[in-house]
Each structure stands twice: as C-alpha cells, then as structure tokens.
Amino acid sequence: MHKLNGKDNFSSQLFPLFFLTSIFFLNFTIRIIISPLLPTILTDMNLTRDQAGSFFLVSASGYFISLLCSGFVSSKLFHKKTIVFSAVATGLAFIGTGMSQTLLGMRLGLFIVGMTAALYLPSGIAMLTSSITSRNWGKAIGIHELAPNLSFLLAPIICEGLLLWLSWRSVLMVIGTTSVLFGFSFFRFSTVTDFPGESPRLKSFLPLVATPSFWLMVALFSLGVTGTLGVYSMLPLYLVKEHGLLQSEANTLITMSRILTLPMPFVVGWLSDRFGLKLTLSFDLFFTGISTLFIGLLSGRFIQIVIFCQPVLAVCFFPPAFAALSHIGSKETRNIAVSFTIPIAFLLGGGLIPNLIGILGEKGFFNLGFIAAGALILLGAVLPAFLKFCEDS
C-alpha cells in the first residue's frame, strides 16, 4: 500500500484527493459540455439533428476503445504520467475541436477527446486508493464520485456564463486550456507515489463470457447510462427545437433539475441495504423508464415537472448497480467485469442512443426518441430478477 508521506489522518491526504477530483470534474465536463452548447453549434455550423447527435457516438466510440486498452498505457507510463497525459491531451484535443471548421474536424476532435479522456479513470482510482489509507477509502471515493454529478449540474451554468462573453468555440478552448493547466500542475505539484498499471489479460475475461449475469449487467448498465448521459446529451436540443425554449432557459431548467441528484446516491444506498439490490434496481429502472417516456409525451408545465423528476430517479441506478456488479463472478474476475461493462455501457447508452434520438429528430420524430429510450429502460426493469449473485449459487 502506497501512502502519502506516511501519514494516516484524512486531512493530510486531502490535497491529492481534491486534485484528482478536480481533474475528474474537468475530464467529465469536457465529455458532456457539447450537450448544453448543441443548439448554438447546430445553428452556427448549419448541422442537422442527426449530425449533432453523432458527436456523442463518435466520442463514446473513442472512449470505448481507449478504456479497454488503458492498462497497456498505464503499464508503460505509470499511473501519474497517464493522468497527466490524459488531462493535457484531452485539453489539447478539445482546443482542436473548438478550432475545427468542418463536421469531419469536429468528429475527429471529439473521437480523440473520448480516447484521451478514457485513460483517466482507471489510473485516477488507482492513484486515489494508493494515496489514501484504506480506512478512508469510502469517504475518498465518495468525494471523487461527486465530480460527474457536479459536472452535470454545473456544465450548463458554465456554458451560459462563458457565452455571455465568448463564442462557443472559445468556450471549448477555455475549458480545454484549463484541463491542460491542471494536468501540468498535477505533474509539478502532486507528491503521490507513482507505480505502473497492469496490462489486461484476455484469459481473465473468458470466464465472464460464459456467465449470463455478466451480460445482464452489461444490458442494465447500458440502460442506466441511457437514463443519465443518453437523455442529458440530447435534452437541451430537444427543449429548444421541439418546445420553443431559449437555450439559456433550457440549460437553466436542466441545471435546476440536477440539484436534487447530489444526495440521492446516499438515499438509494440505504434503500438497497433495506430492500435488496435486485428489487431496488427493478423499481428504479421502472420509474426512470416511465419518467423518460413522459419527456417525449408531455409538454408545457408538465414536461418541466418530469425533467425535475427524471434525473433524480436516473442517478439512483448506479450505487446498487455497482454493488450488484461486485457480486458477479469470482473475486478474481470482478475488476475485469467492471473494466468491460463500463465501456460497453457508455458506447451504447451514452453514444448509440443519443445518435438514434438525433436521427429520429431529423426525421420529425424527436419526441419518439425519448419515448423509445423510456420504453427500453422500462422493459429492462424485469432483468434484475434474473441475476445470479455469487452467494446465490
């Protein structure tokens, strides 16, 4: 176990924790901030809705490929340099994306952004757990995992604030530059102990292929990501183009709807302990599916109410889902299960689904995309009943 300066108290370990959390926040923000900017980008570049939706599939494809191969990179560069490389390269790629004048250039830039951003998470978690004593891991990981929810909450505010002074291209460049600066700062000022990652081994994955519950968890995580990132990606454009909101109004509404998501992981953690993982997952997918479906069916004040409810329900999926995933397979294959489940889920739920919603939107059926996504999530509510945990057998 690597420890920071040999100290055990949590306060002495906060510096690397908040450094990593800040980099994770920027990493996630770069991946999602295209969404609140999408109405402006679509108008400025004269894009169709399916072309706009393709941005998320392209980025998720890069993320999928790189996350599967991240172990090869960290085994050569070591974790600290991998984090630095990820932050700097992602920032530079995002700056390049902002400078791109063509659709092809934007897609290429976002593909590289997805590839470089994916390198952070495995090394970030490894650095965090090596820099924090094991008795403080729960608090440390809890703080670190606030970054995505804060990013969902703050990305629309950041966009609208910067758009008062800058073009959307300059917004991308400012955020990219910030990531580059944080990457170099982490390299210069962080005193964490560096060590290499482990290269993935195909033979470790083979036992999972024959485990039905593993594929059920892949499907469940894909639905969970659909309810969060998939819906979030296309929602601002949907509200602007189909419901006549100004971009600033849509982003304000989405920001306000995310405030209540922050305490929900703690609430659902208690519920899953009380009622069990399978039942909690089923109920959450059921209500998330219903609320997502209603986004496509309702309008006016009613859709505003649903938009407040949907993300609160959607974020409740992940705590019991990760707990369920930890019960799949043997102790030796659990980390492999996570390594393969997450990239597939992001590719499908965070890439393919937004792209399909954009295609339907271009054909005049924008609302049908959300109805279909909600129906898929709703149907997935039956899947947890078929999970077989290792203690069940």
Average pLDDT of every residue of the chain = 89
Return the exposure string of 109-123: e unless at least 16 CB atoms fall within 10 Å of the residue's CB, then b: bbbbbbbbbbbbbbb
For residue 393, the model assigns a pLDDT of 42
Task: Report whether pLDDT(133) > 60.
Answer: yes
Sign of CA dihedral 84, 33, 110, 313: positive
Task: Write the burial class of residue 188 (CB in 10 Å: 0-12 exposed, 13-18 middle, 19+ buried).
Answer: exposed
Structure tokens at 193: 């102990």
Q: Which of 172, 171, 51, 62 is nearest to 103 (CA)?
A: 51
Q: Please give the CATH number for the structural domain made up of 201-388.
A: 1.20.1250.20
Task: Report whether pLDDT(204) > 80.
Answer: no
CA distance 203 to 56: 31
pLDDT in tens, 23-65: 999 999 999 999 999 999 999 999 999 999 999 999 999 999 9
pTM of the model: 0.89
- Give domain limits for the chain: 1-200, 201-388
Task: Report whether pLDDT(271) > 60.
Answer: yes
Q: How confident is the model at residue 2 (pLDDT cuts 50, 70, 90)?
A: very low
Residues 6+ apart with CB under 8 A from 65: 115, 118
The mean pLDDT of 180-190, rounded to a whole number, is 93
For the chain, give me the number of helices (H) and strands (E)? 20, 0
For residue 82, the model assigns a pLDDT of 94
pLDDT in tens, 72-82: 898 899 989 99
Question: Torsion angle of alpha carbons 239, 240, 245, 251, nearest 10°?
Answer: 70
CA angle 122, 123, 124 (to 5 degrees): 95
The mean pLDDT of 1-10, rounded to a whole number, is 48
The mean pLDDT of 300-324, rounded to a whole number, is 92
The mean pLDDT of 308-337, rounded to a whole number, is 81
Q: Please give the CATH number for the structural domain made up of 1-200.
A: 1.20.1250.20
CA distance 123 to 207: 25
The mean pLDDT of 345-361, rounded to a whole number, is 96
Q: How confident is the model at residue 5 (pLDDT cuts 50, 70, 90)?
A: very low
Q: How confident is the model at residue 88 (pLDDT cuts 50, 70, 90)?
A: very high
For residue 360, the model assigns a pLDDT of 97
Q: What percentage of the chain carries pLDDT values higher than 70?
A: 92
The count of other CB atoms within 10 Å of the CB of residue 86 is 28
Alpha-helical runs (H) found in 226-349: 231-243, 247-258, 264-275, 277-297, 300-314, 318-325, 334-347
For residue 128, the model assigns a pLDDT of 84
